[in-house]
Structure 1
């Protein structure tokens, strides 16, 4: 039999994970497979129970709405996943135990590695969104020394996330605050690292656009949108038009998948083919 891994969620048909993992499996010539499997909240426990008994199953990526619900169904949870409060990867360890991990944080931070290796006088990130994806973004940036401003429709929810996931002085704002112009005079940003992240579903296909006035973005900011459908969001287009460097959602998606790939198949993803993979994902 062929070893295999899966991505589970509800819905799941839109997932790009089978394309990503399948591309790497083919490049490496592995006798393995990766597929999408529709799992509802009602069938999640039964799914994991059945896969425990399947010796060819190597694990699964976990997408919405199961990233928190899967926690009591695994045998161990690694520290980062505990801290974030979300599991996006379950794999079978050498002792047979099912282990829950979070690779979203690593995937999100990967395209920022160059900036994070530098020394900065000050790091600040404006994070727009308070849903499940924002948990990984907030946790990762706080650990890298960023002062955060988290904006959501409900500022109390934003404050709750900060209290749960971070230490130190961070701030909240209503999302509507960033939709209106500001005359705030930013100070000298030399030696600073400023980041603006859309961690909300706004701008995703079928969702309303993200209303953001660029007077809120400090000069030299890096603009990062984790939305993957479309990859070229209106938010990113406007950011480039305004002269900002941008990072799209495929960067995080590919990065988190690569971190999971080694746990599933025991090989490093062949990242030298990233350009070809991105072309495949955007056809």
Structure 2
């Protein structure tokens, strides 16, 4: 019976726009794995009580999206090394009456950076939660790291917390991109309804990889400029699907399909919403 199937959900405020249900339900259909996945909209003040109520209501776990990721880590009884290092959780699962927190955003970022050489200078735009997950991937690489942010002190604090010797720049500093082999946008700049991200990529390495976490629109101004210059690109859907894979396994006890078939469904949905 459906009532006996494992159930999971995405929790956010708002959350109706989330693409997680499409991803998870596509994989459930493709694998034939029994399960269900829903959307839970929850105001910040009610998050902790809602999580505990849903736990008792039979959910096996939840994906957590903005603005609850930091609170999710605090709610948990246990947390993975990644969640603790990043300072936020995007996955909560229930195991033997305990809430376990994890952060799989860095897994999605690693997927997007698979073709990165890991050697030339890396430019990280932003110093918020998404940037923390990106720096978690970069911190052990022996490369020059440059962090661009509106507030210099916040970028300095981020680098210090991760023990990274990074060069700090303002958002409009074109010199920060010189010879960079990797550029990551970890801000909402360039997203539909947000101000554009202005970045001079002309000085980046010819084989540089430019990764934008934004996926609405899928081809941001940053990626369009990168393509115009012949740079390699990775869009936000790569990260979105990448971070969902380990969550699917934890919720439903099955591996997500290796192929990228879910991307076509996501592209169709984004086109429908445009």
TM-score computed with the length of structure 1 as normaliser: 0.88
2:82 corresponds in structure 1 to 80
Taking a change above 3 Å as real, the CA distance of residues 236 and 211 of structure 1, as seen in their structure-2 partners, is: same
**Secondary structure at 2:137 match in 1:** helix
**1:92 CA drift (Å):** 1.6
CA deviation profile, 1:35-63 (whole Å, cap 9, x unmatched): 111011111011112022123x1111111
**1:142 CA drift (Å):** 1.4
Contact between 1:107 and 1:259, CA under 8 Å: does it hold in 2?
Answer: no
Query: How far apart, in 2, do the equivalents of 1:171 and 1:63 lie?
Result: 30
- Corresponding position: 1:124 with 2:84: no
- Corresponding position: 1:149 with 2:152: no
**Secondary structure at 1:229 match in 2:** coil
Taking a change above 3 Å as real, the CA distance of residues 33 and 175 of structure 1, as seen in their structure-2 partners, is: same
Contact between 2:120 and 2:144, CA under 8 Å: does it hold in 1?
Answer: yes
1:190 corresponds in structure 2 to none
2:62 corresponds in structure 1 to 60
**1:274 CA drift (Å):** 4.2
CA deviation profile, 1:44-97 (whole Å, cap 9, x unmatched): 011112022123x1111111111111222111011111011111110122x232
Question: What aligned pairs does 1:1-283 form with structure 2 within 5 A after superposition?
Answer: 1=3, 2-55=5-58, 57-93=59-95, 95-115=96-116, 122-167=119-164, 169-178=165-174, 186=179, 194-272=181-259, 273-283=261-271
Query: How far apart, in 2, do the equivalents of 1:274 and 1:220 lie?
Result: 28
Unaligned 5+ runs, structure 2: none
Q: How many residues align?
A: 267
**1:21 CA drift (Å):** 0.7
**1:145 CA drift (Å):** 3.6
Contact between 1:78 and 1:101, CA under 8 Å: does it hold in 2?
Answer: yes
Unaligned 5+ runs, structure 1: 187-192
Taking a change above 3 Å as real, the CA distance of residues 3 and 143 of structure 1, as seen in their structure-2 partners, is: same
**1:275 CA drift (Å):** 4.7
Contact between 2:83 and 2:103, CA under 8 Å: does it hold in 1?
Answer: yes
Query: How far apart, in 2, do the equivalents of 1:185 and 1:208 lie?
Result: 24
Contact between 2:181 and 2:208, CA under 8 Å: does it hold in 1?
Answer: yes
Query: How far apart, in 1, do the equivalents of 2:143 and 2:257 lie?
Result: 31
CA deviation profile, 1:94-126 (whole Å, cap 9, x unmatched): x2321000000011011323446xxx6x33210
